[in-house]
Amino acid sequence: MNDASPPIRRLADWDHDQLLDLAAEYDTPLYVLDPERVQENYRRFSAAFPDAHVMYAAKAHTGQAVLSALLEAGADIECAAAGELQRAIQAGADPDTLQYTAVNPPDRDLDYAVDLASEHPGLTITAGARDTFDRLEARGYDGRVAIRINPGIGTGHHEKVATGKDAKFGIPYDEVPEVADDVRERFDLVGIHAHAGSGVLHDDLEDHCRAIAKVADLARDVGDDDLEFVDFGGGFGVPYREDEEPLDMELVGEKVRDAVGDLSAQIKLEPGRYVVADAELILTTVNTVKETPAATVVGVDASLATMIRPAMFDSYHPIRNVSAPEREDHPVAIGGPCCTSADVFATDRPVARPEREDVLAIGNCGAYGYELANQFHSQPRPAEVAIEGDDVRVVRRRETMADVTRVEDEAEIGSASPESDR
């Protein structure tokens, strides 16, 4: 690792010749991952919080290459679903170190977590509803739990990720002391947890720290001397736009410590986006250039099935013509092959004038990029390669049409049994 690694990797920092070689060899659309960058980001974050227990929030990217790189760097893993627990274990995580943060968990997810905890009692189950605690007790569980609270303050880059003020997430703030008394009688209460939001940058930092201070106050009210940890979640963002500055993590660390104040329990933090966002990009090939009175429309082979964030969150991702970055910039609209107006990566975006067969790079795709990839229009999901210096390995092969239809082809007519191979 380079200790002086920059706090953000811009698209121009990637090796364009290597990217063009990858597009030629592995076809497009293609996810390109740099596991070393994942480790650098994790270590930089951890260095800003030397007294905290830093866990990676797996939901940002559950790829085995990402999880393995983080486990190698010394990270523990926080999982939001039973499938993430399974993937973390498959990557080599010790189940006794895992934390499962359930949100309206299906029965099969709770069954899996309880069964796992019966063999690995170090597993911690976080619940954000009284009902979930009742369901755990009904399964005979009496082990390690944390209470997810709703601080009533939401932060982040979009209203759909401002979890701290969304009633879906966590037990209402004022009800937590009463719930804590009840939970202590039935389980081993080891912590409380909150998550204010995602993609927190400079403008959101003050609100984020207010939420942290509020959670710390509540921890003291319920008796932090008796708690193992207070988990403030993650949420720290990266600059997606080229003119945005990255967070000064040393300063962020100071602000968070000031917001927490004196606390007997250990601080836990769960970065996700910060660790993986700039460690991956998408390569896509131009197949159509259409001049219209309204815009120059550039069609590419990536789509909202490849990465849905622009359609889902109206998110900005930098785009660069890696085939000809020296050409003059021209405002273009860039979209994929899906039959919906939402399948657009950019509008009126200055890009070195694209031509058919040019390869474009879409940056900052590591967080919730492949994780939200789908098969809309029966499109096979793309391949993913990991670069390690000059070495390249395929960490996820490109799907085929046979993969898209496999679950139907293998289905037994009339059978609707639950998953049996979790």
Task: Estimate the crossing angle of helix 130-138 against helix 107-119, to 10 degrees.
Answer: 60
Other C-beta atoms closer than 10 Å to the C-beta of 159 total 11
The residue ranges of DSSP E strands in 49-102, in sequence order, are 53-57, 76-79, 99-101
Return d(Cα 52, Cα 55) in angstroms, integer: 9
Run of H or E including 394: strand 391-396
Cα R_g (the chain), whole angstroms: 22
Q: Which residues are catalytic?
A: 339
Instruction: Quickly list H helices, 294-340.
Output: 309-313
Return d(Cα 123, Cα 120) in angstroms, integer: 6
Return d(Cα 72, Cα 371) in angstroms, integer: 21
Task: Estimate the crossing angle of helix 202-222 against helix 249-260, to 10 degrees.
Answer: 30
Asked if residue 352 lies in contact with residue 317, where contact means CB atoms within 8 angstroms, the answer is no
Return d(Cα 8, Cα 245) in angstroms, integer: 9
Residue 4, exposed/middle/buried by CB under 10 A (0-12, 13-18, 19+)?
A: exposed
Place of tokens 């300063």: 251
Distances (CA, A) of 111 to 101, 114, 259, 319, 417: 14, 5, 37, 43, 16
Return d(Cα 352, Cα 130) in angstroms, integer: 55
